[in-house]
A and B are shown apart, each in its own frame.
Chain A
């Protein structure tokens, strides 16, 4: 009996192939779209963490309020003590100080006159200690396009697009003009050690990377930093752990007196996670809601399509059911066989769809997709190459709706078998 019904299923394409293709297409799209959105979001979060906020960011309270403006006059001082404390309390994180700064980069010609000039946004990180985690976090060695990594004080790296705009080469000198944390003018000469491409439009077109000690000196911030970033050792953002660490730390430091006389508690350190930091948090929430809505609409739309396919599929077959019932098959048997068919189709479609969707996602995860041209003017920490990212959720996001929608559509439409007189069922075949 079962092989007999199965034979019929395979031969009748409108019962097998078309519903299969519907499930398949819906599931492929859902799985891929989900992995893609997940990839975009994780890339955004990851590069935001690497280049901007860390997994956890320690700042002064005052600095935190205006963190996007890099208010170094409100920066952390005496960071060695704080670093020691952080390393002792949270050894599972890598802690590294940074200074973000703005200023003017001036390129002189042979006579010492300005040849080119551009505003830059700089990032000072520990480039010179041998055990600095920044090499890995910023992936500097791989980012080098021309020249080499800085090995000595006074050497900086320039974003490729910035270097092209200013017409500078490794070995050129540049004058950096800014103001110290106390507001007086600061001028310092640097040698361009190399150019870098991070693949993030916002960085490549305006960023210079300098050594922390140089910038501490230039900005008169000895022993200080704008912020201290913490990174989880596996380089993945663990939201729960980050929130826990942040909550405890912030509770302990609620009203710390700082190291400086200007302090009234506004300079006590405070921790933030990428999500809780102004600007990004709204954005991430927005993206979260937005991608949630997209996925929701998509899954619901797919379910309705599949539901409908299940519905019309069994309505079309009332005549056949009538004949089968007349020959002596039980209603329950007809109904269950209909459900079994839909489970097989739904399962096959969901498996094939998930596999194909995952394969497509894996391809895009490996090869990426260049959206650099779209991001030309972007200030988001979004890589130009977007990669899909497969998560454990990818395995079920398409599979379950695909299977369930088919099954439920059939289950509900099949109830008609019970509602009608058998003689009415096969009259539908006659007409």
Chain B
């Protein structure tokens, strides 16, 4: 299983109609991601990074082509099965924080575990661990509005990784973080990638993120234009 395909897309397309014309992003994307990759989709704004990420996360449906995640054809999953897949195996980090404002930091991070039905003492342990990773253990009782943008994003990261998913899909995770926080987060994620074998897929144009990537896929107008690998990413020295 170590090198099996975790995510596999074939001729994936999403067509948006724009009145008279239409627009494809992604456009004919064929891509294989294996377990343990630390990969980024890069490219100019509007090139289809977010859409591709959402399709992989079964939040969005492709117009044509196929996508397989963890051996399951997500374009044909029922919404219940898709929810089960996300709940069990995928963590999301959004460009905006998307925290639930009425809940505390602790409760936001706890939410995915409640959905999984994790028992309460184990839940506490996992939530505390995740908050440690992102350096927010002391803000467990704060509400999202009381946090800075960077802190909010770190809570979102803790929420994505708390259930130790196989795949984390992160859309511009550092967009609202300063340099120090960005590096802190990226190192946390590199560590998770190496220690737990979690596969990370980023959508980003932030050089700080790109510096940590072991694989960089460049999208231009929805199409893959470059697919580069580097075993020793410049920033990922420990």
Are B83 and A325 in contact, with the CB atoms below 8 A? yes
The stretch from B4-12, B110-118, B134-142, B223-231 touching chain A is B110-118
Are B100 and A329 in contact, with the CB atoms below 8 A? no
Are B83 and A330 in contact, with the CB atoms below 8 A? yes
Contact A430 B96, CB 8 Å, known A327-B86, A329-B87, A422-B59? yes
Q: Within 8 Å CB of B103, what residues of A?
A: 7-8, 11
Q: Within 8 Å CB of A288, what residues of B?
A: none
Are A329 and B59 in contact, with the CB atoms below 8 A? no
Question: Chain A: interface secondary structure?
Answer: helix
User: How many Å from the CB of B148 to the closest CB on chain A?
Assistant: 19
Residue in B closest to A4 when the chains form the complex, CB atoms: B114
Q: Within 8 Å CB of B61, what residues of A?
A: 421
Which of A1, A320, A332 is in CB contact (< 8 Å) with B100?
A320
Are A323 and B112 in contact, with the CB atoms below 8 A? no
Most chain A CB inside 10 Å of its own CB: which residue of B61, B83, B86, B111: B83
Are B92 and A421 in contact, with the CB atoms below 8 A? no
Are B96 and A326 in contact, with the CB atoms below 8 A? no
Are A1 and B115 in contact, with the CB atoms below 8 A? yes
Contact A429 B59, CB 8 Å, known A325-B83, A329-B87? no
Are A327 and B59 in contact, with the CB atoms below 8 A? no
Task: Kindly identify, within residues 327 to 344 of chain A, every residue whose CB is under 8 Å from any CB belonging to chain B.
Answer: 327-332
Which of B98, B110, B111 is in CB contact (< 8 Å) with A429?
B98
Q: Is A312 an interface residue (CB 8 A)?
A: no
Most chain A CB inside 10 Å of its own CB: which residue of B54, B84, B99: B54
Task: Kindly identify, within residues 71 to 97 of chain B, every residue whose CB is under 8 Å from any CB belonging to chain A.
Answer: 79-80, 83-88, 90, 92, 94-96
Task: Kindly identify, within residues 406 to 431 of chain A, every residue whose CB is under 8 Å from any CB belonging to chain B.
Answer: 421-423, 426, 429-430
Q: Within 8 Å CB of A319, what residues of B?
A: 98
User: How many Å from the CB of B149 to the closest CB on chain A?
Assistant: 14
Q: Is B180 an interface residue (CB 8 A)?
A: no
Q: Is B237 an interface residue (CB 8 A)?
A: no
User: How many Å from the CB of A97 to the closest CB on chain B?
Assistant: 73
Contact A12 B102, CB 8 Å, known A330-B83, A430-B95? yes
Which of B51, B54, B79, B115 is in CB contact (< 8 Å) with A327?
B115
Q: Within 8 Å CB of A331, what residues of B?
A: 79-80, 83
User: How many Å from the CB of A330 to the closest CB on chain B?
Assistant: 4
Are B80 and A327 in contact, with the CB atoms below 8 A? no
Cα separation A101 to B178 with both chains bound (whole Å): 98
Are B102 and A328 in contact, with the CB atoms below 8 A? no
Cα separation A331 to B95 with both chains bound (whole Å): 23
Are B87 and A422 in contact, with the CB atoms below 8 A? no
Cα separation A422 to B61 with both chains bound (whole Å): 10
Task: Kindly identify, within residues 186 to 224 of chain A, every residue whose CB is under 8 Å from any CB belonging to chain B.
Answer: none
Q: Within 8 Å CB of B86, what residues of A?
A: 325-328
Q: Within 8 Å CB of A8, what residues of B?
A: 100, 102-103
Q: Is B60 an interface residue (CB 8 A)?
A: yes
Which of B94, B112, B116 is in CB contact (< 8 Å) with A426?
B94
Are A328 and B98 in contact, with the CB atoms below 8 A? no
User: How many Å from the CB of B122 to the closest CB on chain A?
Assistant: 15
Are A423 and B54 in contact, with the CB atoms below 8 A? yes
Residue in B closest to A12 when the chains form the complex, CB atoms: B102
Q: Is B57 an interface residue (CB 8 A)?
A: yes
Q: Within 8 Å CB of A423, what residues of B?
A: 51, 54, 59-60
Are B107 and A330 in contact, with the CB atoms below 8 A? no
Q: Within 8 Å CB of A11, what residues of B?
A: 102-103
Cα separation A281 to B116 with both chains bound (whole Å): 67
Are A323 and B98 in contact, with the CB atoms below 8 A? yes
Cα separation A422 to B98 with both chains bound (whole Å): 14
Contact A327 B159, CB 8 Å, known A319-B98, A421-B60? yes
Cα separation A305 to B100 with both chains bound (whole Å): 27
Cα separation A327 to B116 with both chains bound (whole Å): 10
Q: Within 8 Å CB of A332, what residues of B?
A: 80
Most chain B CB inside 10 Å of its own CB: which residue of A320, A328, A330, A331: A328
Question: How would residues 114 to 152 of chain A score, 1 for a CB under 8 Å from any chain B CB and 0 otherwise?
Answer: 000000000000000000000000000000000000000
Residue in A closest to B83 when the chains form the complex, CB atoms: A330
Cα separation A329 to B90 with both chains bound (whole Å): 12
User: How many Å from the CB of B56 to the closest CB on chain A?
Assistant: 11
Residue in B closest to A329 when the chains form the complex, CB atoms: B115
Residue in A closest to B86 when the chains form the complex, CB atoms: A328
Q: Within 8 Å CB of B117, what residues of A?
A: 1
Q: Within 8 Å CB of A327, what residues of B?
A: 86-87, 92, 111-112, 115, 159
A interface list, Cβ under 8 A from B: 1, 4, 7-8, 11-12, 319-320, 322-332, 421-423, 426, 429-430
30 contacts between A and B (CB under 8 A): A1-B114, A1-B117, A4-B110, A7-B102, A11-B102, A12-B101, A319-B98, A320-B100, A322-B98, A323-B94, A325-B83, A326-B57, A326-B98, A327-B92, A327-B111, A327-B115, A327-B159, A328-B83, A328-B84, A328-B90, A328-B112, A328-B115, A329-B83, A330-B83, A331-B79, A331-B83, A423-B51, A430-B94, A430-B96, A430-B98
Given contacts A327-B115, A329-B115, list 4 more A-B pairs with CB under 8 A.
Answer: A327-B87, A327-B112, A422-B59, A426-B98
